[in-house]
Amino acid sequence: MGFDNLLRRGLSVSRYRIVVWIAFSSLYIIIITGSLVRLTGSGLGCIDWPACNEERFVDVSTPHAAIEQLNRLFTGVVAASVIAAALAALLVRPRNPRLVRLALLLVLGVVGQVILGGIVVLTGLHPLSNMGHFLLSIVLMTWALWLVHATREGAVSSQDSRVLVLSRLLVAATFVAIVTGTVVTGTGPHAGDETAPRFPFDISDVARVHGGSVLVTLALAVVLGFLLRRTPHRRAQQAYESFLFLALVQGGIGYLQYFTGVPVALVAVHIALSVAVWLAVLQLAHAAKRSHLPIVQPRLGSDVAH
């Protein structure tokens, strides 16, 4: 009876937002669990796909196999959450095509992740496949954040074109920094297994390239900060402060892990924070094009006498 009422009356956007946040959280969590698989050397704990190995579909007989298997099983939680978001988007009233499109993209992205996960294992944890796996996670988090935004879109007002353009450049620079960071990871010591291949680069060279991209990103952020001081965009200023704080912490941890021999704990924090920095810069770009002041609609007849 309750389900019949739901189909008839539809789902409110506020309730749908809860479903979206669950999907968003699960997508973030699996990035962290996936990084722990690699950092604990459990990348080939299951040597086959989709089964764990030739003898068992599910195998937790060794610590490495158990860690890898738990990460795979959590993929089921992620899949269920994004499918629920897609189905629930069809029930939202009034119907919002943007919600439906973004939710369906999440489903397609998770399917892509499952396929890429298989490729990662079957290629023996090749760094290119690992890079693709992580970068697709970044794309999925982007779509998930856009879906969150779509559940609470407000009115758009006039924009400062300089702030808007620079915020988008900052997004691009941040993405470049993330990509170069994955190259450093693919060259460094934490391959997920002792037998996994590595990029044939000098770790110092790729670290310098990555560090340079980070410095360019911070330089753009400083310029954007000066522009925001002269604008009334309070929401954009708050988003900027959050991004700058996370970016500085992330940069500090990056240098600290490099000079301390890339310990596992710091690498794990660095990976988790890289996603947080990406979400923060997306939030900043979103805030830069939205007004913190709602557009007030005139009351009917209010201007008749004038």
DSSP β-bridge partners for residue 92: 11
Is position 49 within any domain? Answer: yes
CA contacts within 13 A on the Cβ side of 217: 27
Question: What is the pLDDT of the chain when averaged over all its residues?
Answer: 86
Pick from 99, 124, 153: which residue ends a domain?
153
- Say yes or no to pLDDT of 1 above 60: no
Q: Is residue 128 domain-shared with residue 253, that is, in the same domain? A: no
| CA–CA separation, 18 and 15 (whole Å) | 5
Is position 302 within any domain? Answer: no
| CA–CA separation, 101 and 97 (whole Å) | 6
Pick from 120, 153, 186: which residue ends a domain?
153
Q: Is residue 160 domain-shared with residue 144, that is, in the same domain? A: no
63 phi and psi angles, rounded to 5 deg: -60, -45
Is position 22 within any domain? Answer: yes
| CA–CA separation, 12 and 121 (whole Å) | 41
Q: What is the DSSP letter of 92?
A: B
CA contacts within 13 A on the Cβ side of 34: 27
Q: What is the pTM of this model?
A: 0.87
Quote the pLDDT of residue 4. Answer: 58
The band of 154, judged by pLDDT with boundaries at 50, 70 and 90, is low
The boundaries of the domain holding residue 99 are 1-153
Is position 174 within any domain? Answer: yes
Is position 268 within any domain? Answer: yes
CATH number reported for the structural domain that contains residue 2 in this entry: 1.20.120
261-289 confidence digits (pLDDT tens): 888 889 899 999 999 999 999 999 999 88
Q: Is residue 100 domain-shared with residue 198, that is, in the same domain? A: no
Is position 272 within any domain? Answer: yes
Say whether the peptide bond before residue 63 is cis (omega within 30 degrees of 0). Answer: no
The band of 97, judged by pLDDT with boundaries at 50, 70 and 90, is very high
55's tokens: 């003898």
| CA–CA separation, 179 and 183 (whole Å) | 7
Quote the pLDDT of residue 141. Answer: 98
Q: What is the DSSP letter of 152?
A: T
Quote the pLDDT of residue 9. Answer: 67
242-256 confidence digits (pLDDT tens): 999 999 999 999 889
Q: Is residue 168 domain-shared with residue 202, that is, in the same domain? A: yes
101 three-state secondary structure: helix
Quote the pLDDT of residue 6. Answer: 54
Quote the pLDDT of residue 64. Answer: 85
- CA neighbor of 26 nearest in space, from 125, 110, 131: 110
Other Cβ atoms closer than 10 A to 39: 19
Quote the pLDDT of residue 304. Answer: 37
Q: Which residue has the tokens 């979206």?
A: 20
Pick from 105, 120, 153: which residue ends a domain?
153
164-213 confidence digits (pLDDT tens): 899 999 999 999 999 999 999 889 887 777 778 889 999 899 999 999 99
The band of 298, judged by pLDDT with boundaries at 50, 70 and 90, is very low
Indicate the number of domains in the chain: 2
User: ∠ CA 178-219-168 to the nearest 5 degrees?
Assistant: 60
